[in-house]
Amino acid sequence: MNPVRWTLFWVALLAPGIGAGEQMQRFGDFEAHYVVFPSTFVQSEIAHQYGLRRGPGLAVVNVSVLDASGEGTACAITGHSKNLLGQISPLTFKEVREGDAVYYLAEVRHADQEVLRFSLTLTPLDAEPFTLNFQQRLYVEE
């Protein structure tokens, strides 16, 4: 298993223990899977490979979309996070492809114990867009 997939596998396994487990929402024939985790969980060489910054107060949003057959599918993703004061921060997603897997990564800055509301518009190829909304409390990792 390559290093990126291995890291993301362990993040998905360890994240439930810190209250940031993977989540899923269904939209017709599609499933959107998402997880937000501290950027410090990503090994430095992998972060460098994908242009991700690491450090306290930075988290990574990981989104993947599966079609009706359970295969990863490419999509366009736009969106933002919003804190409880209403301050909006746009998210810029980077596509990562590994074999049949397709997922999207974005960085988000946050304060300790800050609750962020995420609103993402996902548009799979040749399909209607759908909106994924979720919120999560984030913690600064020292």
For residue 17, give every residue at least 6 positions away whose Cβ sits within 8 Å of its Cβ, in sequence order, or none.
none
Q: How many residues does the chain have?
A: 142
Q: Which value, in Å, is the radius of gyration of the alpha carbons in the chain? A: 14
Average pLDDT, the chain: 86
Is this model's pTM higher than 0.85 or not? no
Domain ranges of the chain: 3-138
pLDDT of 64 higher than 80 = yes
Q: Are 121 and 130 in contact (CB under 8 A)?
A: yes
* pLDDT grade for 46, boundaries at 50, 70 and 90: confident
Q: Give the mean model confidence (pLDDT) for residues 38-45.
A: 90
Residue 100: per-residue pLDDT: 87
Range with lowest mean pLDDT among 19-23, 43-47, 80-84:
19-23
Least Cα distance to 79 among 66, 67, 63 occurs for 63
**DSSP code of 68?**
T
Fold classified for 3-138? Immunoglobulin-like (2.60.40)
User: What residue has token string 């969106």?
Assistant: 79
